[in-house]
Structures are given as C-alpha cells and as structure tokens.
A and B are shown apart, each in its own frame.
Chain A
C-alpha cells in the first residue's frame, strides 16, 4: 500500500478494501482519504491502535510506502530564559498526555504564545502556526524568532501579508492557510491554531482537514461559540485538554491605570463641514424611521444605501462627519501639549486609522506601526521601543486580540472604535507604571459635541461593566 499527499488529500494506492477512513475515488480508480486521517491510517497499518485494528482487520497490507510525510524532525531548545508558570506546565502536560492533540483555554495575556513555544520544542517537528490576523502573524513571528530563530538555518517562515516563505516553522493567517494548505499540508507535523474559536467555518476547517500533522494544538481564551460549532473542534484538533478561567489570573497580570478625558472643539471651518455632512445623514435617517439604536436598524439603513442614491450619499456623509471629528485639527494641538509634558515617559499614541497615524508620525517624527508595516520592520520598531531606543510609538488599531506589546506608562487615544472588549484588553495589557510614585496614565482626546462623544461614553461603560463582572 502506498500513501501520498495529493492536493490536500491522501491518495491511498494498492489498498485492501478494508482500509479505514478512505473512500473509493472513481476519478482515479484508487482510494482517497482526508489528510487529517494520516495518523489513523498509519496506526491501522501498524496495528498498534487497538480501536481501529479491532474493528478493521489489518487486511493484506504487507508493506507501507509512505510518500505522504514531508515534514522533518529536529531538536529545538527555546532560547527563552523564563520558567513556565505552573498553569502553563500543567497545560503542556495535559496536551502531551492526550497524544499531543487538543485545545488549551487560557485567558488573554496569560502567555499562550509561550505555551506554544514549549509545545513546538516538545513535539520536535516542523510546525505551522495559524493565526487570525496579519498583526498576530507578525507578533508570533517575532516571538518564534526570539525562541528558535538562531536554531533554524532558514529562520521562521511567513505565509501571508505579501510574504511567501515557507520554512520548518512557519506562521500564517487563516486566509492564507486556507488558500495554500493543499500545497503545504504535508510539510508540518504540528499544527498550532491560535484563537481557535474562529476555526469552525466551512472554509477554515479545511485547514486542519487538509493537513497530515499528527500533532495538533488549539489555543483560545474564548472556546465556546454562540452557534455551538466549537463542538466540531474536537474532531479537527482534539478535545479540550486544559482550561484556566479568567478569575484565577485577573489582577495578577493585568495592570491598573488612571484615565483622563480631554475634549477639543472643532475649528469653525471643521464645524461648518461637520454640520453640513451630519445634517445630510441625520435628515435621511430621520425621514426613514430607522431605529439606529439597534443593530438591526443600522443594518436596514446600510441595506438601503445599496439601492437608494440618497441613502448612499447619507452613508458617505456619515463617514465624512466621523472623519472630521476623528482627525480634528485641535487634537494635534492637545497631543502636542501632552508630548511636551511626557517627553521623558514611554508613550503610545493610538489612532483609529492609518492615515492619522502616519500624519502624526511625520508631524512629530514618531515611529509608527499600522497593518501596512512589514513584519521585519515592525519587529524591529517594537524591539527598539522595548529597549528604550525609541520612547514613543504611534499606532492604528493593530494591537488587538492578544498581542504582546512592550509596556508604556502613558497611553493617548486620539480616536478609536467602540468595541469594549478590544478597549479593555489592549490597554490593560500595555499600561503599567514605570515607578511606584506615579500610576500609568491614559488620555483620551475626543472632539466635543460630535458622534465621538457618544462612542467614548459607550467605551467607558464597556470597561466598567467588564470590571464589575
């Protein structure tokens, strides 16, 4: 019998009829199986797996020619001097005990990446790390480069965001993995999936299906999905092997900070434009009775903009008004004052859009990271910020969902979205005091009497609601 990897599947040639997990493919007149059954089929051949060989007699497989496996084994020692925390060690053991398969649930900020580094060293095989966003891909790339970079001749590979470099340890996004997994599904023995709750989708779930990797690790802080589809993860990656709740860790690793809200006014010219645009939007919305306080009402508005020219104009008006408020001229004046006051501190400036981040970067000659920043430069800027070579950093919304950013003691929000989860996470993990006398400080600069005022309200409610729960 011969196993080979064919376009994301396993071609099983010269197989006895009793071969499990495989279906007859009349297109090529051979058996074919999903790639993720690679380990099961190997077990069945060797007869060492009780379950499969009892139900499926070994048949007539005298010899197995395995051309499917294209990944390598090697010995790696993470060059990280940190001792694993207790729960990380427990999680790792639980995963090992489950044949190196399954998911680990850990709260954000508790070192999921660190756990993965331990798992990669433990498994000692080529590894593909799949993450939801390009920003996370960059972050993982930096961490893995730190841990293993000098032990791998080709370094850590990146597949996605314009890079196509596949090496023994490669980081990729869900989207790129989905696109290319049929080509590379034989090249990895360990599959690590970050934020694994995103995986159960008809497209993304083909990533584990088209991979032969016998070892699998899922990571997330929020395993359960509202639609119940997380149940499919057990089949794709293995069961949940370890779970650590938020309570056990809250307070311990998340820091506290004080918040100051600063308001600025629009200039006369800005106010005039704002009012004009906002009025176009308001008039349209008011004349159509959308209940914009509800998500469904807003969806209805959006739907209408696709066929009603006036609605389309109203949508553009809303976007323009938001932009005027977001990039208000006087915000830069206030920022100017803050930067003077804090020029000896470590400061991160947050903006909601790239354009504003770059404007600030040019205006105040501050390094800047956006989703456009290439992996290498981004790693370098963060490293320089960590070591103090840079004391300031401007960034658009790229420091979300579980990203390790060097800490700062001053944060300045120039504008942002209203998502409460995003807000609490990204600040709690970044702001910490540099000395005991002065707490970390967050400034939020908002434009008075615009839609921003409302967004800021909602944001604060979100944070306090979080703290109460």
Chain B
C-alpha cells in the first residue's frame, strides 16, 4: 500500500480521480525495470543503502512520487533483518559501560590518547569473542537503515540462512548468488499493482462507499465481512435500478461504512474500504462510488466523489472464492447437469441482508416459467456453525427457502421447528429429484426473466 504522502490524484469539479499511469508507457517501464534491478542488486545489503540509491533516482525528477511509490510497493515485498553475530544492544551496552570508565575518548590522534577508543572496542570484542569489525558494525546493526535486505519477492539473499531466526543470523562469507524462484516480480506486475494502489490511496479519506456488482457475490461479501465494513444491501436489475426482491435481482447494490458512520462522516473506515477495493476487480462487472473527505476537515472541507468501474482495467491480487464450498455441493452440481429437468441450479445467486450479516444461500433453483426457490445445504460442521446457520435461516424469513441437512449431523427435526417441512435429510449425497420435489412445493412464482 502507498503511504498517504505518495498518493497522486486530481480533483476537478467536485470529483477526485487517481492519476493512473499508462502501463505501456516506455518511460514508466524503464523506471520500473531500473527499480526492480536496484532491489535485486541490494539483496544482502543495508536498507539505508537501498533507500539512498532510490533517492538518487529522484534528484531532478518531478516524478519522484511515482518513483518512490513504485519503490514502496517493492519494499512491501521485501524482508529486512538485523544481521549481527551478537545482540547489538548487548554490544553497545558493554561499550558504553566500558567507555564511561575510559573518558575522555579523544578523536585527534596527535594527543596520544587515541588508543582509548580502540581499547574499548577491542576489549568488548574479545569479551564476546567476535572480531573488532563485527563489534564496531554490530553495535548498531539493529537500526532500521542498517538492517539487511534478506528477501525480495521470492528471491533470498544467499548469505541469509533461512533456518536462523532473530538477530543472530550467521554471516557466511564468499560471493553470494541469489536463487531464483519461478514467481518473480515483473514490470507488469509492478505497474498494475501501482495503479490499484493509487486508487486505494484515494480511499484513505473515504467516508462511505457504494458498490454495484452483478457477479461473484460470495467473494465480494466475504471481503466486506473480512474488512469489518457494515452494509445496507439492495437487489438491483441489470441497469442498476433497485428491485423489490432478491428473487428478481440481477445484481446487488451495497452501501458500505462503519459503526460510527451513523453519527458523523468518519474517515475512520477509509482504510477498510481501501483494503476492500481489490475485491471488486474480481467481478466481471462492477461499479464503485465513494465519498471522499477533502483536506483536514476544516471550514473549507468538502466531499468529493470518486468513481471507478470495470472499465478502469484494474486488476486484483486477492483470491476469488472457489466455486464450491464442499464436495456435496460440487457433486450435486455435477449430477444436476446430467439430470433430465427444466429446473436450473444457479450457484449463490441471492444475497440476503440480515442486518449485521449477509446470508448467501448455496443455490437458487429456477424454472423457466418463473418459479423459484433458494436452497441451502447444511453438511458436516460444528454445533456452533449449525446454530449460527439456523439463526440465519430463521432470520432470513423466506417463504421459498428450502434446506438439505446431513443425517450425520447431531440434530433432529425439532431443531428446525416450524421449518421442518422444508428440510430434506440426506445421508451421503443429495438426489436431484428429491430436491426438485421439495422445490415444486415451496417455489414462488415470479415473472419469467
């Protein structure tokens, strides 16, 4: 992620947009190439030296924010460690104690007192059984700028012994030759990631985010939950207009904010929205609109509008949810394909807003004539999971919800009091026609789509 000072955006007429860079622009490709090379060359060297080299690139370059921003993203892929034979703090404590009895420690060699400094360092080096140089360099080896770059992406410094944790990493001598991993950091990776990071940085000051998605619901809402955002969810049609029920929805609109947003426009949740953003490019079709609080919130503060959608060609490094939660679901889907029926099985098509949570029933079962049920499978899980699931099902309060429950679960029809007619008990696998029977009974008819 970029730090706020590396954000680049433009405000115009009440809107704000990140200053994306063209990933095909030769100039940026060269900068990215150069930076990646610098990082590779600094494996096994100090962080201070690496930063100094990067700074050299920006002496008369007004693109320094881009250079530093790209460098920041590369640094996020790095590991820096203290490399010293003895705990640096122990070394310096011994040095200062020893020195305090030896003052004045003079600097000018003409005065005959110059051996004091050497004596202090040698005495402490001997005490730890390390070389004089290790003592001198090790004294502050734990400073941020003296830490060594031991890993960059999948490349590790050969000098760095992975098995050794902590501060007393053994230093091996000899020339280092870095080992290559398959998944190296590339120019395209960096520039793509940079544009996403620019968009994320705009969101640091966001007070509310509104999204519209038309696919990948389970993925999107699992990230909403993961990053602790609160939601209001509305089913929408293909054009983004709100519709009455999830049964007739093509997609979902969600308004995202946090607990305290109820009282005032708070940018406290901006960082969460920023973390959430990479979930959206996992959808084929999505739109995002956020309110961004400009400046320090003084009298001149105003709210800017920030819009993005799938045409902005952002790409995500988050992982999408796999197609099926369990083998039971996958097997059912496979059987359904082979079955001879007009009823269609649609994966996670409904997002039910339960207040603090959402529920995404595993499937919807739809008939071309407009009849429709939603279908939830309860397989092999813990009692807590089962209780949570039951509470959700009751809370959802849907007339056209049916449930398949494994007989191996330690529960009975009493647990489904009031719902027990809609339960299909199964042993190892679910039979397609049993489900269709139950679906016919509870389906509600909507106008065909």
Contacts and interface: CB of A to CB of B under 8 A. Distances in A.
A343 B111 CA distance: 15
Contacts of B62: 305-309, 311-312
13 contacts: A9-B262, A25-B262, A27-B231, A27-B356, A201-B296, A203-B268, A209-B260, A309-B62, A312-B59, A312-B60, A332-B107, A358-B140, A366-B99
Contacts of A316: 59-60
Interface stretch (B15-23, B89-97, B173-181): B89-97
A387 to B, nearest CB: 11
What's the interface size class on A, roughly?
A: 35 or more
Contact of B61 (A29, A312, A389): A312
B158 to A, nearest CB: 28
Contact of A9 (B95, B106, B136, B259): B259
Contacts of A309: 60-62
A28 B356 contact: yes
Q: Top 9 closest A-B pairs, CB basis?
A: A202-B297, A365-B99, A7-B259, A313-B60, A343-B104, A336-B107, A343-B103, A28-B355, A9-B259
Nearest to B297: A202
Interface in A1-54: 6-9, 23, 25-29, 32, 34
A179 B89 CA distance: 30
B192 interface: no
A364 interface: yes
B139 interface: yes
Interface string A298-323: 00000001111111110010000000
A29 B356 CA distance: 9
A372 interface: yes
A391 B143 contact: no
A336 B105 CA distance: 8
Given A333-B108, A365-B120, 13 more contacts: A8-B259, A9-B262, A23-B263, A28-B230, A182-B258, A209-B260, A309-B61, A336-B106, A364-B105, A364-B117, A366-B99, A377-B89, A391-B100
B34 to A, nearest CB: 18
A365 B118 CA distance: 10
Contacts of A390: 96, 100
B68 interface: no
A7 B96 contact: no
Interface string A322-351: 000000000011001001100100000000
Most buried by A among B100, B121, B296, B298: B100
B103 A202 contact: no
Contact of A7 (B99, B260, B298): B260
Given A306-B62, A340-B104, A8 B260 contact: yes
Given A6-B259, A182-B268, A339 B103 contact: yes
A23 B261 CA distance: 11
Contact of B262 (A29, A32, A227, A367): A32
B210 interface: no
Contact of B103 (A9, A307, A391): A391
B232 A27 contact: yes
B267 interface: yes
A203 B267 contact: yes
Given A362-B139, A366-B96, A339 B259 contact: no
B96 A365 contact: yes
Interface in A206-257: 206, 209-210, 227
B60 A339 contact: no
A339 B298 CA distance: 50
Contacts of B100: 389-392
Interface in A339-394: 339-340, 343, 358, 361-367, 372, 377, 384, 389-392
A359 B106 CA distance: 14
Interface in B109-153: 117, 120-121, 136, 139-140, 143-144
Contacts of B240: none
Contact of B266 (A27, A201, A206): A206
Contacts of B59: 312-313, 316
Contacts of B144: 372
B108 A182 contact: no
Given A34-B260, A313-B59, A339-B104, A358 B89 contact: no
Given A27-B230, A316-B60, A358-B143, A182 B259 contact: yes
A38 to B, nearest CB: 14
Contacts of A364: 99, 105, 107, 117
Given A182-B268, A316-B60, A365-B95, A206 B103 contact: no
B260 A206 contact: yes
A26 B108 CA distance: 75
Given A309-B61, A312-B60, A362 B136 contact: yes
Given A206-B266, A308-B62, A365-B95, A29 B228 contact: no
B107 A333 contact: yes
Nearest to B121: A365
